Chains A and B, each alone.
Chain A
Amino acid sequence: MKFLWMLKNEFKSSKLSAFLIFAEGVFILVCFCICISLSVDTLSAAVYFHSGFDGNSVKAAFKSADMDEYKEAFASDEIDLAVYVNYYFAQGKDGSTVFMGSYSESAFTELNLSYSGSPVDINKDYGGAVPAMVSRTLSKQYKTGETYDIGGVQVYVCGKLNDKNLWMMSSEFTGENFFMCYDKDGRLSALEKSAVGCGFFTTQKGRPIEGLINSLNSNELVNGAYEFDWRNKMSEDFDRLSGNLIIGILVFLISAVGFCANNVLTIKKNERDYYCQMCTGQKKSSIILLFAARMAVCLIAGVIAVIIFSKRLNTYFGEEIITSVNLLAASGLCVFLCLISSLPLLLNAFNVEKQ
């Protein structure tokens, strides 16, 4: 209770500084989230390829309208893991066309899908319905946890896929309106009587498929086997990333200067107060703890504000850039900045000899 009372007083005596930390926190979190989301795929792909890929290229993707062709390729000894899909047209609930992707079991067990709601549980019975994940653009019409009749097939919506998973559907078929279904019993094949396309993704033996797929653009999912030159691709991606890196470093520097300036002014303003408090028995450590707690409260308020802002902003930016992982990483950077910008100053503020 006493600590909370002191914390309340700390806020009362430095309202402007607290507001500035909050505002700066929001700015840094948003900027860092953007930087992270622009860089993370390239970095994870680099880690993926540089940790044991042989040669410079790999057979990466295959798409065909001929089911037999891909089944034959799928049976190849060279392929250790594949994710395949059949695409179907269907009439949605408001009469518009939606695209149903019937995915292999491996899509639900091997891929680390980015989603909200629940994933598809391949062992669960969804009351006879086909379990599916819905794309973000369809999620406003098709709610998680509901069952819908789509072209005579009952489809249960387990969760909402983030746009990050759009690579799984070729844009020429789907746009962004699609269901990712697990159709174990082949009920979707009744839709419009035929599949309109199929495809699969493979990777080198013993390697996870996801890192490879994440590094491909949808226009690289060409018909036929595709020899993917990953070294060349990495080099291109890193050239692009270096531009982001400069922006990231600039944001970091501006933020560091902002935090330092704020902390210098706050500590200088309160230096005499700290000294007087120490004379009345306040510990150095608890002054530092109070300062840190004040900063933490401002930053937590910043994080909450960014979360509320991103939730209200029902767009790609709100849902795919300000993700919980990005926000967590950005918060870590923010805390690091706070520490390096305030600790040396705080420690220096307790030099009794100069009071």
Chain B
Amino acid sequence: MIELKNIVKTYYPQKSTEVKALKGVDLKIEKGEMVAIMGVSGSGKSTLLHILGCLSKPTDGKYFLDGEDMNEAKRKQVYKIRNEKIGFIFQDYGLIEDKSVLENVMYPLAFSKNVKFLKMKKTAQKAIADVGISELARKKASKLSGGQKQRAAAARAIVNDPDIILADEPTAALDSKTADEVMALLKRLNEKGKTIIVVTHDKRIADMCQKTYVITDGCIKEDTQ
């Protein structure tokens, strides 16, 4: 389903400030897998996530998503893929703080052509119910606790029913109990057939996934231990 072939990403190429963030990454993730990508700060995790999420293009190499070469994809197609095939969860939740949970979850639907305006609210309410925070739908994001925010972010990520969920350090800002709850939520989504890719530096979180890849200085390898 996801296949990276010899992915290279270089920032500021041929300048004195040139940075090689990824140096030939090969990665294959099958549909329905729950995978952790581990690495220290600056190892290239976020760059890899940006490429997987079609937010930036690699300098070299090939990225296939469901057999489609993403390097060749047109901009319009990329927007559609980000909206319909991929859901993002961020370390800092990425919610619009002065809007309600419902409004935040409705946003991806506003960009989708599959859901009509009149159905947006109902669809968002269902996603909020799926992550177990129906009673918070009308609350502003700024009034929520860290765990509640991450659940709201998860609701936003799944509202368009994407196949892949990319979670960038989803538990880093949470205490261990709340982190476990969020991971349990991601596991439940995985059991429903979603492919989950979790970027983390926490071994405990990585252990909850089926596979772990370690990224060091722009190179990746599977952690078989």
Chain A interface residues toward B at CB < 8 A: 1-2, 5-6, 9, 12-13, 272-273, 275-283, 286, 352-353
C-alpha spacing A352/B55, complex, angstroms: 7
Q: Which of B57-97 contact A (CB under 8 A)?
A: 79-80, 82-84, 87-88, 90, 92, 94-96
Tell me, rounded to whole Å, the shortest Cβ–Cβ distance linking B193 to chain A: 20
B98 at the interface (CB under 8 A from A): yes
Contact between A281 and B111, CB atoms less than 8 A apart: yes
Question: Which residues from A are CB-within-8-Å of B80?
Answer: 281
Name the residue on B nearest A283 (C-beta): B79
Chain A binder among B37-45, B102-110, B172-180, B184-192: B102-110
Question: Which residues from B are CB-within-8-Å of A2?
Answer: 110, 117, 120
Contact between A280 and B99, CB atoms less than 8 A apart: no
C-alpha spacing A349/B94, complex, angstroms: 16
Contact between A280 and B107, CB atoms less than 8 A apart: yes
Question: Which residues from A are CB-within-8-Å of B106?
Answer: 5
Interface residues on B, range: 20 to 34
B50 at the interface (CB under 8 A from A): yes
B145 at the interface (CB under 8 A from A): no
Known: A278-B82, A279-B90, A353-B11. 13 other contacts (CB 8 A): A2-B120, A5-B117, A12-B99, A13-B98, A13-B99, A272-B92, A276-B96, A279-B94, A280-B83, A280-B107, A280-B111, A280-B160, A282-B107
A-B contact pairs, 13 of them (CB 8 A): A2-B110, A2-B120, A5-B106, A12-B99, A13-B99, A272-B94, A276-B94, A276-B95, A279-B82, A279-B88, A280-B83, A281-B111, A353-B11
C-alpha spacing A212/B75, complex, angstroms: 58
B6 at the interface (CB under 8 A from A): no
Name the residue on B nearest A270 (C-beta): B96
Task: Mark each residue of chain B from 124 to 166: 1 if its CB lies under 8 Å from any CB of chain A, else 0.
Answer: 0000000000000000000000000000000010001000000
C-alpha spacing A12/B107, complex, angstroms: 14
Q: Which listed residue, A13, A282, A352, touches B111 by the CB 8 Å rule?
A: A282
Q: Which listed residue, B53, B84, B107, B117, touches A277 by the CB 8 Å rule?
A: B107
Contact between A12 and B98, CB atoms less than 8 A apart: yes
Question: Which residues from A are CB-within-8-Å of B87?
Answer: 280
Tell me, rounded to whole Å, the shortest Cβ–Cβ distance linking B217 to chain A: 19
Question: Which residues from A are CB-within-8-Å of B99?
Answer: 9, 12-13
C-alpha spacing A201/B120, complex, angstroms: 70
Question: Which residues from A are CB-within-8-Å of B53?
Answer: 279
Contact between B84 and A281, CB atoms less than 8 A apart: yes
Question: Which residues from B are CB-within-8-Å of A9?
Answer: 99, 103
